[in-house]
Amino acid sequence: MPSPAVALIFGTRPEIVKLAGVARLLGTRARLVWTGQHWDAKLTTCFFDQYGLPRPDHVLDGIGGEARGRQIGRMVAALSDHFTRQPPAAAVVQGDTNTAAAGALAAHCAGIPVVHVEAGLRSFDNAMPEEANRRLIAPLADLHCAPTPTAAAHLLREGVEAGRVLITGNTVVEATLESLPGKAEADRLLTRHGLTEGGYVLATVHRPENTDDRARLARLLDQLAGVGLPVLLPLHPRTRAAVDRFGLHRSIARLRQTDPLDHAAFLGLARHCRLLVSDSGGVQEECTVLKRPLVVVRNSTERPEAVRAGFARLARPGQQLALALREMLADTTATERLARTPSPYGDGSAGTAIVAALRERYLGPEPTAATPLPSPGHLHPAPAATAMA
């Protein structure tokens, strides 16, 4: 009989980044299932290659580009069929994507234990699709891998049993440390984009709250163009489509646009920028590892730890954003202060802690030692995770 495997459900590039270390540590006990929620090769294929992952064991067809409800429904149906044919020992979902929600629901319906990585985040903003996805997953999960004590506390308040909550840290820490390019490559990136260290702003915009409102997107682009420094904007397909739909070419032309970057290139540019401006959840975590200040251009955030630690500031386009940009660019103490501030998301041991829990709870003893996939970089040694008492 083959060794039991854990299904890792991927569908977006942040899920590749954050689960790659778990997949490598599980080795032959990992079954990679790709939903195709992100269908643009520039946003996905290069990430599998960069993180040394093999092609997925199972791939869903026709998922990308669908409206949210249809996308989740089609994923649930396809994943249910797959789990019926090849039931895993457990199914791991990550974060708050449509893929994570569909994976959790399909596994639960098939009687397969659900492990939620990055569990317990809450924005308390029900207008966010991600918040709905997180709250859908919580009652379905058998094991909640919470990245921080704050996230764990949310779960306990919602009635999750303490024995099913494990504080692991966030796998983004080791992913960032692995992928961060050295000085020579960072210098080449700066030269390629015509930038100087500490002399530019790096921005990303992709959330519907910013891209689906013409007035808001126009205000955001204009405010970025007015900061007085070059602004590099890797252009997400959703943002590009919104610019075309709303006729905002004149506004965006004042920014230095580029195609989506692979993870290492983005981190290299983020590490040496003066300021980050983004609506991304992952960037709110990565900035705490890179020690760079960030303006979070959103209505709310499910990652208050970065704000409390002094790395990030929440601001909506308009007066809030104008003030945040002005004050954070004028802060000459930020570099030294943030360099001394530890990341609230852990020390780079989350993947090891999660895999230890998977082996203990679902896989049992190894009939033969699983061979970890080779790591593309160095992982810091890992202390044990913290169980909720």
Q: Which residues are catalytic?
A: 206
Strand order in the sheet with 143-146: 58-59, 30-34, 6-10, 90-94, 114-117, 143-146, 165-167, 386-387
Q: Are 124 and 131 in contact (CB under 8 A)?
A: yes
Strand residues in 38-195 grouped as ranges (E): 58-59, 90-94, 114-117, 143-146, 165-167
Neighbours of 300 (CB within 10 A): 16
**Whole-angstrom Cα distance, residue 7 to residue 9?**
6
Q: Are 143 and 116 in contact (CB under 8 A)?
A: yes
Angle (nearest 5°) at CA 168 between 135 and 276: 75
Q: How far is CA 12 from the centre of its chain?
A: 9
Question: Would you give the DSSP letter of residue 175?
Answer: H
Rama region for 310: left / alpha / beta (φ>0; ψ in -120 to 50; rest): left
Q: Are 346 and 383 in contact (CB under 8 A)?
A: no
- Compute CA distances 387 → 165, 169, 230, 237, 303, whole Å: 7, 12, 46, 40, 21
**Whole-angstrom Cα distance, residue 166 to residue 374?**
26
Q: How far is CA 90 from the centre of its chain?
A: 22
Q: Which amino acid is at 226?
A: G
**Whole-angstrom Cα distance, residue 265 to residue 277?**
17
**Whole-angstrom Cα distance, residue 345 to residue 148?**
6
**Whole-angstrom Cα distance, residue 43 to residue 60?**
17
Query: Who's near 223: CB < 8 A, 6+ residues apart?
Result: 317, 318, 321, 322, 325
N-to-C CA span, the chain: 37
